[in-house]
Amino acid sequence: MESSSSRLGRLDALRGIAALVVVFDHASYTFMPEFRRELMPEFNTSRYGIMVFFLVSGYIIPASLERRGCVRTFWIGRVFRIYPLAAAVVTTILVLNLTGIAEMRDFAGQSAATAAVAHVTLFQELLGTPNLLLVLWTLSYEMAFYLLVVALFTVRRHQRSAAVAITLAVLAAVSVTAGAALPVSALSGAIGTGRLIALASIAMVVAIGCASAGSRVLRVFGGVLGGVLALVLVSFNGTVPMWEGLVILAVMFLGTAVHRAERGQITWRYAACTIAVVLTCAVGSAYRHGDGPHSTRRGWIVAFLLAVLTFGVGLALRHRRIPRWLTGLGTISYSVYLVHPVLLTVIDGTLGRWRRDNPVLSVAFFAVLLPLCVLTHRYIEAPSQRWGRKLARRVEPP
């Protein structure tokens, strides 16, 4: 069986690759606009990197919960993993806005307090609130996935990951027509964004609190409440079509199914069937009713298929030695993902964007970004994760 260190090294390598591709996608707006215009219709680089991230999350997050065996310590780990760096990045953006270097996004008439609450839940993308930083949208889907994983764990159906992936993918295909007819953020439009944020925030606090309680009845109630909240928001209040939101969740559970097959909890035949169903439903949905012209849909489909292929290649090469620089890049990948748009914002607000491709400046950007991310990992991410582990040990039930 594959060792834990080898498995984590492979996952870090995949995260490192995904981070580089996402950064290239966003940096190309500034440094390589002509190349970007030619590439995007054929290959949506941003979606590729993000789908790889989602597959890796799907692989590792349920395993983390099941290894701990405790919902309370799971949430502590997630909070200390995600929030400190996100808070530092958001604070930096606010400071840049005050100094005039960066201009904050318009929150569509929402008050600062309402937008802040939406961002604290990490559900802002699914609560009709523009993201303070564009890349934060993926954290909303990560949070939805966490709630669904906890829901399955509390009702003792957590090993049904393959069935969940298939169900979500089929629902995505079935809902294509209905999803295309729904406007984005449909629930926000129906009951009001402020009211939805308040209701969702309360439901989320209750769900996490009850799922972390000692009583089994409360745990089940909290888990189910959180799972229902996640499914409703992804399906009816996302800024992407319903089918794509469901596909994102299906992809994450596909990563979980692969983990189950590797651990011998399901057969590889079952895992292969799951992969086939998810691929068929996702590609079919995108082809039939994807947003935009045919070329845009083609770029999404190519990115999706290459992301799954990349994950599969990582699986096939699991016994090979992983270069240290690549695993190191994976270790700082969260910093790379959150910090690079801040650096780009500074460049756009001072030097401005280039009208013609300038690969030299693109390379220089990476040369500045990566050492900066080593520092943010060392002084923000790593210490906060250590604090989270210490707190988790204190509250872990005997």
> pLDDT (tens digit, 9 = 90+) per residue, 186-215?
899 889 999 999 999 999 999 999 999 888
Examine residue 45 and state whether it is found in any structural domain, yes or no: no
pTM listed for this prediction:
0.94
Residue 377 DSSP class: I
Residue 10 and residue 258 in contact, taking contact as beta carbons nearer than 8 Å: no
Confidence class for position 293, pLDDT limits 50, 70, 90:
very low
Examine residue 268 and state whether it is found in any structural domain, yes or no: yes
Average pLDDT, the chain: 90
Give residue 265's pLDDT: 93
Examine residue 275 and state whether it is found in any structural domain, yes or no: yes
Examine residue 93 and state whether it is found in any structural domain, yes or no: no
Residue 104 DSSP class: P
Closest CA to 214 of 222, 202, 224: 222
pLDDT above 50 for 294: no
**Overall domain count for the chain:** 1
Least confident stretch, 35-39, 75-79, 124-128: 35-39
Domain residues for the domain of 117 are 108-291
User: Rounded to an integer, what distance in angstroms lies between the CA atom of residue 234 and that of residue 125?
Assistant: 9
Examine residue 121 and state whether it is found in any structural domain, yes or no: yes
Examine residue 329 and state whether it is found in any structural domain, yes or no: no
The phi and psi torsions of 322 (rounded to 5 degrees) equal -95, 130
Examine residue 90 and state whether it is found in any structural domain, yes or no: no
Torsion of CA 383, 13, 344, 143, to 10 degrees: -60
Give residue 181's pLDDT: 62
Examine residue 393 and state whether it is found in any structural domain, yes or no: no
Q: What is the DSSP string of 41-76?
A: TT--HHHHHHHHHHHHHHHHHHHHHHHHT-HHHHHH
